[in-house]
Amino acid sequence: MGGSFGFGEGVGALIARTSIALAGAALVGALVLTAAGLDLATTWEAIYEGAIGDELAIRNSLLEAVPITITAIGVAIAFRAGLFNLGGQGQIYVGALAAVLVALYLHAPGAVVIAIALVASMLAAGAWGGIAGVLRARLGLSEIITTIMLNFIAFWLVSYLVRGPIQDPEGDGYPYTREIPEPVQLGLIGDVVPVGAVLMLAVGVAAWLLMDRSRFGLKIKALGEGEAASRFAGIAVPRVTIVAMVIAGALGGLGGTASLLGVQHRLSDFFSPGWGFDAVATALIGRGSPIGTLVAGVFIGFLRSGIQTAEGTAEVPAALAQILLGVVVLFLIIANADLVVRLGRRLRQRLARGRGEALERPA
C-alpha cells in the first residue's frame, strides 16, 4: 500500500513542500480564528507567549513535545519500512503500564528503577507493536487495522487495571494508580529542560544513526521503497517488517513512559490524549526522516502548548491545534501527489526553456 507520499526526497524539495503546506495551514488557521471572531494579532501573541514566552512556557512546551515526538520517531521508522503504525496510542498505554508497575513495585535506588522502568516499557510496548508486525509478516494482515484493534485492547486492559487491581486505594475511586515515588520521577536539568527532552534528543540521534548510517536502516528503507525489489535483493522481508514494528512500538512505550515519569506520575485511563494519532501526523510532517520528525515534533509541541495556554488567556479554541495538524498533512499530500509533482516538474521545464536553456535529454 502507500505510495506517492515522497519519503526520502532531497532536502530542498522537502523544505519547499513543507513550507508551502505550513503556509497553507496557517492560512486555514487564520480563517478559523477570524470566523471565531478573534483578533489575529492578539491571538498570535497569546499563542507565542504561551509557547516560549518565559521559562515556564518553554518547559511546558518541551514537556508537551516529548511523548509526541518520541512516539512519532517510531512511527517514522515504520513509515520508511512502508508500514502505517496507527498503534501509538496502544503502545503508549502498554509501555506506561509496564513502567508504572516497575516504578510502584520495584524497591531499589531511584536511578536503577528508572532505568529498569524505561527498559521494561520498551520491551512491553515493543512486543505490543511486534504483534502487528508478526500478523503482517506471517499472515498478511493490514497493520492499519490490527494496530487500531490493539489500541482498543490495550486501552481496555489498562482501564480494567486502574479501576481494579492497581487502583489508588486513596484515590476516591478515580481510575488511576498511586503516584510513583519521588526518586523515580524525572526532573529538570537546570530549571527549564526536562530530562525527557534529553531522552527525546537521544532518540532522534539514535534513529538518525539507524536510518542513515546502518545497513539495517538501508534494509528498512529498501522495504519501504519496494517490497518486490527488496525480496529480490535478498532482504528478509518478514524479519525487517517485524523489527520495524517492534522499534516503533518500543518508542511509543518510551514516549508514554517519559510522560509518566516526568509529568503525570500516575497511570490513568485518560493518560494519553490522542498522542498516538498526533504522532502519526508528526511523522508525516517530518516526512519519515528522524531529524525531520524531531523538528516537527518539537514544533508541534510548542504550538499545542501555546494554543492550550492561549485558550485560557485569549479564548483561542484548543481544538485549533488538531485542525492545523490535519490540514498541514492534507496540504503535504497534495504537494506530493503524483499529478502535482508532475505539473511542478513541467512548470520548471517550461521556465528553464523560457530562460533559453536547453532541455536536458538523457543520454
Partner 1 sequence: MSDLLDIFTSAALYAAAIRLALPVFFAALGEVFAERSGLVNVGLEGMMLMAAFGGVLGSDLTGSPMMGLLLGLVFALVIAAVQAFVAVNLGGDQIVSGIALNITALGLTAYLSRAIWEGGNVPQVNGFPTLDPPILSDIPILGPILFEQSLFVYIAAVAVAVSWWALTRTAWGLRLRACGEDPRASDSLGIDVIRVRWQTMLICGALAGLGGAFLSLGSLFTFSDAMTGGRGFIALAVVIIASWSPVKAVWASLLFSLCEAFALRVQTSDIELPAELMLALPYVVTLIVYAVIVGRTAMPAALGRTYVRE
Partner 2 sequence: MSGIVKEFANVTACDDVSLEVAGGEVHALLGENGAGKTTLMNILYGLVRPDRGVIEFEGRRIDPRTPGDALTAGIGMVHQHPLVVGPMSVAENLFLGGLGDGTQDGARAAIAPITKTIPLDVDLAARVDSLPMSQRQRIEIVRCLARDVRLLILDEPTAVLTPEEVEQLFIEIERLRGSGRSVIFISHKLSEVMRIADRVTVLRGGRNVGTHEAGAMTAAKLAAAMVGAATGDVTRSDGSKPGRVRLEVDACTITGRFGPPELERCTLGVRSGEIIGIAGVEGNGQRPLAELLFGLRRATSGTVRFDGRALPPVGRWQASKVPIARIPEDRRHHGLLLGAPLWQNLMLGPQPPRFGPVLARRAVLDWARTTLEEYGVRPADPTTLAANLSGGNQQKVVIARELGGAPEAVVAVNPTRGLDIRAQQEVQERLLQARGRGAAVLLISTDLDEIFALSDSIAVLYGGRITGPFAAAEIDRDRAGMLMGGVDGG
Residue by residue, DSSP assigns 149-183 as: HHHHHHHHHHHHHHHTTT--TTSTT-SB-PPPPGG
Kindly report the CA angle at 292 between 186 and 154, in degrees rounded to 5? Answer: 55
- Other Cβ atoms less than 10 A from the Cβ of 352: the count is 13
Interface positions with partner 1 (CB under 8 A): 1-5, 32, 36, 84, 86, 135, 139-142, 144-146, 148-153, 155-157, 159-160, 163-164, 274, 277, 280-281, 284, 317-327, 329-330, 333-334, 336-340, 342
User: Nearest distance from residue 275's CB to partner 1, in Å?
Assistant: 13
C-alpha cell at 210: 539507524
Alpha helices in 226-358 (DSSP H): 227-232, 237-259, 275-285, 290-314, 319-336, 338-354
Is the CB of 11 or the CB of 41 nearer to partner 2?
Answer: 11
Among partner 1, partner 2, none, the one that 20 touches (CB under a kind-dependent 5 to 8 A) is none
Return the residue matching grid coordinates 504561551.
50
CB of 215 to partner 2, least distance (A): 7
Residue ranges in 7-46 that form contacts with partner 2 under rule CB under 8 A? 7-8
Helices and strands (H, E) in the chain, number of each type: 14, 2
By beta-carbon proximity to partner 2, the closer residue of 53 and 238 is: 238
Q: What are phi and psi of 334, to 5 degrees?
A: -60, -40
107 binds, among partner 2, partner 1, none (CB under 5 to 8 A by kind): none
Task: Build a one-symbol-per-residue string for 195-234: x at contacts with partner 2 by CB under 8 A, - elsewhere.
Answer: --------------x---xxx--x--xx--xx-xxxxxxx
Q: Which is nearer to partner 1, 98 or 122 (CB)?
A: 98
For residues 329 and 113, what is the distance between their CA atoms, to the nearest angstrom?
39
Q: Which is nearer to partner 1, 65 or 325 (CB)?
A: 325
> Applying CB under 8 A, what is the total number of residues that bind partner 2?
30
Contact 252, 279 (CB under 8 A): yes
Which residue lies nearer to partner 1 by CB, 30 or 119? 30
User: How far is the C-alpha of 331 from the C-alpha of 18, rounded, in Å?
Assistant: 9
> Which of 36, 351 has the CB closer to partner 1?
36
Taking CB within 5 to 8 Å according to partner kind, which of partner 2, partner 1, none is near residue 208? none
CB 279 within 8 A of CB 144: no
215 contact, one of partner 2, partner 1, none, CB 5-8 Å limit per kind: partner 2
Of the pair 157, 291, the CB lying nearest partner 1 is at 157
3-class SS at 130? helix
Pick the closer one to partner 2 by CB: 36 or 350.
Answer: 350
Going residue by residue from 334 to 353, which x/- string records binding to partner 2, judged by CB under 8 A?
--------x--xx--x----
- b/e map 145-158, b = 16+ CB within 10 Å: ebbbebbeebbeeb
- Which of partner 2, partner 1, none is residue 8 near (CB under 5 to 8 Å by kind)? partner 2
The span from the CA of 260 to the CA of 42, in Å, is: 34
Q: What does the binding site for partner 2 look like in residue numbers (CB under 8 A)?
A: 7-8, 209, 213-215, 218, 221-222, 225-226, 228-237, 342, 345-346, 349, 359-363
